[in-house]
Structure 1
Amino acid sequence: MTGRRRVLVVRLDSMGDVLMAGPAVRAVAAQPDTELWFLAGPRGKSAARLLPGIDELRVIGIPWITAVDRPVDAALVAEVNALVAECRPDEAIILTAFHQSPLPMALLLRLAGVPVIRGASVEASAGLLDGRWIPGETFPEDIPEPERNLAIVGLAGYSLPEGDDGRLRVTLPAERPAALDALPEQYLVVHPGAQYPAREYPADHFVDVVRLLTQAGHAVAVTGGDHETELTARVAGSTGIDLGGRLDLGGTAIALAGASVVVVGNTGPAHLAAAVGRPIVSLFSAVVPPERWAPYGVPLELLGDRTAACMGSRATLCPVPGHPCLTSVTPAQVVAAAERLLTRA
């Protein structure tokens, strides 16, 4: 034991969700004599490694939060028990989105022996959570996700230190990837991929966006993961700089940090761009509300038909023929939005 009070902060979702927990993590970590352990899921661990304030990171795949190929069984219970035995937290704080319940995780942590467990739940939680914080009653519900997370840790007594503006933040790796040597001093980034098809701007539109930007005299880098190399090569074409599959998350953060503007859909790299303070053209599908999940705390051009029939459906596959909430946005409109942000810089 270190003699410091240990707090286990739990956020088990994807990259963007973990990045939006960053201000709450800093609020907990700022308290004197506090050691912060963070429990992430497999999809969020790379983002958690970039967050300031985390002393120890652990990873467990929880199938009711993100799609992981494992059952809810005794092995899962044993894994949580082992984490608690190693960490021995004085308190756990479970961060969840509005459509999630903290109670299943709270039950596992309670059975493992965590003495104090905090979280926000619309469901009765006696014996599982210490105190009942009700979203929509204890704190407003239609607020940006970083503010929701801050509200939850704030109810537990944690607040940001003086001088912390509450924006997203990451610690950039010290080593710059060699792949970035191809970038000029001034460039824009286009990130065409998204985790779910319902949030994807059409690839053909992205091809035209890159073409129009380069015709206007801008250098354009196209980013994407290992599974998106075919997409990034297509979008970059002969004029863009294809970085698809050549960067890990830290390298992507460095690439985004150097960009004048980032063009991206509602996906994790949008929040990574916000965490490095870049202006963003956000191609935001109507399936989730931008009031909660739009890029936070940076200059923003939000594009997309937010009144489309898919509004608020949380669909992963677009339920409306033609995907009109995003296909209605023309490449020329995307380029005009980027130019407006460049003018404001």
Structure 2
Amino acid sequence: MKALVVPLDGFTGALLAGPAVRAVATRAHPVTVLCGPGGAPAARLLPHVDDVVVWEPPEGGRADDDDPLVRRLRAEAYDVALVFAPDGHSPRPTEQLLLRARVNRVAACGEAGARAVLGTAAALGFRPRPGDDGRLRVVPPPDTAQLTGAGPYVVVHPGGGPPGHAWDPDRCAEAVAALADAGHRVVVTGGEDETALTRHVSGDIAVDLGGRTDPRRFAGVLRAADAVVTGAPGPAHLAAATGTPVVSLVPPGAPRRPDGVPSVLLAPDDCTARDVVGAVHRLLDERT
């Protein structure tokens, strides 16, 4: 049986689809993840993914018989597809594309979270392996001590979040200083387009890894951390997938608490550097 898993919500959505991918892989081979460019780096980190197909939805969300993806999927003759859409977005256009591509069975989930996607997989007969707890996971990342240096550390990831999630850079820099004053080594991470931000937040206190990690190395940096402080859902869930506790700076009512690890939620508009230090210490106390 050949299966497609189709997360429609970028990096975070691909990570949240991981438990369903593992369940599908109990009965299907190959398992292909079909996703947009934003989701592909996360999809390539998931266990039991045999292939990743990057797809840009057509204008208006519709595809005809001449669409290259429709032709490709028809040629590869997939038996089943699971579509996972973010909250507030309809999976219907993607379902129609897959049916046009003659995928035999298509199921869709319009709810966020790993539990919801696992439920959709179970409805098609795909259940986790015995002992699989359904948590987020990634393939074992590389050792990154050559980047972070020796000794324990806390990661602060100041950027990469949706509007309303990013913390003020100056206040983030204050949190880095407060963590250092409390005796923590701090590693600041960010993408290639965030080097000015990470340089500012790091100052002359923290290890600045802005622009220096691809997704696999980033996962390695998160896995080795004592805790991760971020307002970005993607890094928060990636930290959870590596087993690292998370301090999430999220506005009230924001969805998606990191799955499967201890976490503390702080409102970015209200919290102080002292609050961040207190949250980190609370998580570290839970680990001991």
TM-score of the pair, normalised by structure 1: 0.78
1:97 Cα deviation after fit: 2.4
Can you list the C-alpha shifts for 1:116-162, whole angstroms capped at 9, x where unaligned?
Answer: 111146xxxxxxxxxxxxxxxxxxx6xx6111111111111111111
170, 186, 190: which is aligned to 2:152?
186
Distance 2:170 2:65 in 1: 43
1:1-345 counterparts in 2 under 5 A?
Answer: 5-31=1-27, 34-62=29-57, 78-120=67-109, 145-174=113-142, 176=143, 180=147, 182-286=148-252, 288-289=254-255, 293-304=256-267, 326-345=268-287
Can you list the C-alpha shifts for 1:61-94, whole angstroms capped at 9, x where unaligned?
Answer: 126xxxxxx6657689612213313431011111
Q: 1:266–1:285: 8 Å Cα contact kept in structure 2?
A: no
| One-letter identity of the residue aligned with 2:260 | G
Q: 2:144–2:221: 8 Å Cα contact kept in structure 1?
A: no
Cα gap change, 1:344 to 1:195, in 2 (>3 Å): closer
- Find the residue that maps to 2:2 and give its secondary structure: strand
Q: 1:183–1:221: 8 Å Cα contact kept in structure 2?
A: no
- Find the residue that maps to 1:81 and give its secondary structure: helix
Q: 1:274–1:297: 8 Å Cα contact kept in structure 2?
A: yes
| One-letter identity of the residue aligned with 1:160 | P
1:286 Cα deviation after fit: 2.7
Q: 2:63–2:97: 8 Å Cα contact kept in structure 1?
A: no
1:226 Cα deviation after fit: 0.3
Distance 1:253 1:86 in 2: 35
- Find the residue that maps to 2:164 and give its secondary structure: helix
- Find the residue that maps to 1:119 and give its secondary structure: strand
1:303 Cα deviation after fit: 1.3
Count of aligned residue pairs for this structure pair: 287
Segments of structure 1 that go 5 or more residues without pairing to the other structure are: 64-69, 122-140, 305-325
RMSD over aligned CA atoms reads: 2.0
Choose 83-92 or 41-50, whichever is displaced more: 83-92
Q: 1:232–1:244: 8 Å Cα contact kept in structure 2?
A: yes
TM-score of the pair, normalised by structure 2: 0.93
1:343 Cα deviation after fit: 1.6
Segments of structure 2 that go 5 or more residues without pairing to the other structure are: none
1:101 Cα deviation after fit: 1.4
Cα gap change, 1:86 to 1:173, in 2 (>3 Å): farther
Q: 2:251–2:269: 8 Å Cα contact kept in structure 1?
A: no
Q: 2:61–2:93: 8 Å Cα contact kept in structure 1?
A: no
Cα gap change, 1:109 to 1:75, in 2 (>3 Å): closer
Q: 1:177–1:247: 8 Å Cα contact kept in structure 2?
A: no
Distance 2:176 2:219 in 1: 20
1:206 Cα deviation after fit: 0.6
Distance 2:65 2:280 in 1: 46
Give the percent of matched residue pairs that are identical in Structure 1 and Structure 2: 40
Distance 1:280 1:162 in 2: 27
Q: 2:240–2:259: 8 Å Cα contact kept in structure 1?
A: yes
1:266 Cα deviation after fit: 3.6
1:183 Cα deviation after fit: 1.9
Cα gap change, 1:74 to 1:147, in 2 (>3 Å): closer
1:12 Cα deviation after fit: 2.6
Distance 2:62 2:104 in 1: 23
